[in-house]
Amino acid sequence: MNVTTELDRRFRDAAAAENLLDVGFDVVDSPIGPLLVAATGRGLCRVWFKPDPEQQLDSLARTFGPRVLRSHASVEGAHRQLDEYFAGSRESFELDVDLGVAAPFARHVLKELSRVPYGQTTTYGALAARVGAPSAARAVGTVMNRNPIPIVLPCHRVVGANGSLTGYAGGLDVKERLLRLEGAML
């Protein structure tokens, strides 16, 4: 007794259309590998480089509520804009984001991060200075490390004071690839 693809999609679409979800997610393809993209009713809330639903769905449920369902409709806009970004035809994302339970400092840093322009880089120290905490480069590094919405919130544009790439959740090769895509000077 198999649930057909069509019946399955009907249910998922209806659930999203009726706004019954705490989080809708889908796994989408990209030139840097599959991405797990998730959104609440308030906006995009997660992008993961290495989809691992077993663990990531639990994380979503803990943060946003248990009604977590795969639903392409929930992330359609984000998926389209990511495709455009990877195709080189989009330089900035027009998406609401939901930072969930992020602490005030992290929110402040991520908001400032979102202002770093396409194709440019900044440093952890410079970003710290922009949030009024010039000595907090390390804390800024921690926020980047835990950025819930990479690519859209462009932590790949933040590099070390000596110009080294330092680190990236998706791997340094991905960070370099995104910067090259944007035509940043490396």
Partner 1 sequence: MAAIPPFERFYLEQREIVLGFLRKRLARDAAEDAFQETFLRALRAYDRLEHGEHLRAWVLTIAVRIAIDTGRRTRPTAHELPELQVVDGRPAYAEIEHLADRLPPTERAAVVLRYGYDLAYDDIATALGSSPEAARQAASSGIRRLRAQTESPPGGTS
Q: Of residues 155, 158, 159, 178, which has the active-site annotation?
A: 155
Q: Which stretch binds partner 1 (CB under 8 A): 15-23, 77-85, 136-144, 165-173?
A: 15-23
Minimum CB separation from partner 1 for residue 1, in Å?
Answer: 4
Q: Per CB under 8 A, does 52 bind partner 1? A: no
Which residues lie below 8 Å from residue 38, measured CB to CB, with a gap of 6+?
A: 23, 24, 25, 44, 45, 46, 47, 60, 68, 74, 75
Q: Which stretch binds partner 1 (CB under 8 A): 51-59, 87-95, 151-159, 177-185?
A: 51-59
Closest to 19 measured CA to CA, from 76, 67, 88: 67
Q: Which of 10, 80, 138, 146 is the binder for partner 1 (CB under 8 A)? A: 10
Q: Which stretch binds partner 1 (CB under 8 A): 29-37, 67-75, 91-99, 171-179?
A: 67-75
d(CA 60, CA 67): 9
Interaction with partner 1 in 68-107: which residues (CB under 8 A)? 68-70
- Cβ(150)–Cβ(49) below 8 Å: yes
Q: How many residues bind partner 1 (CB under 8 A)?
A: 25
Residue 155: active-site member: yes
- The number of CA neighbours under 13 Å toward the Cβ of 47 is 25
CA quadruple 84, 155, 113, 78: dihedral sign: positive
Interaction with partner 1 in 126-165: which residues (CB under 8 A)? none
Phi-psi map region of 91: left, alpha, beta (phi>0 left; psi -120 to 50 alpha): alpha
The residues annotated with a catalytic role in the active site are: 155
Binding site for partner 1 (CB under 8 A): 1-3, 7-8, 10-11, 14-15, 18, 20-22, 25, 53, 57-58, 60-61, 65-70
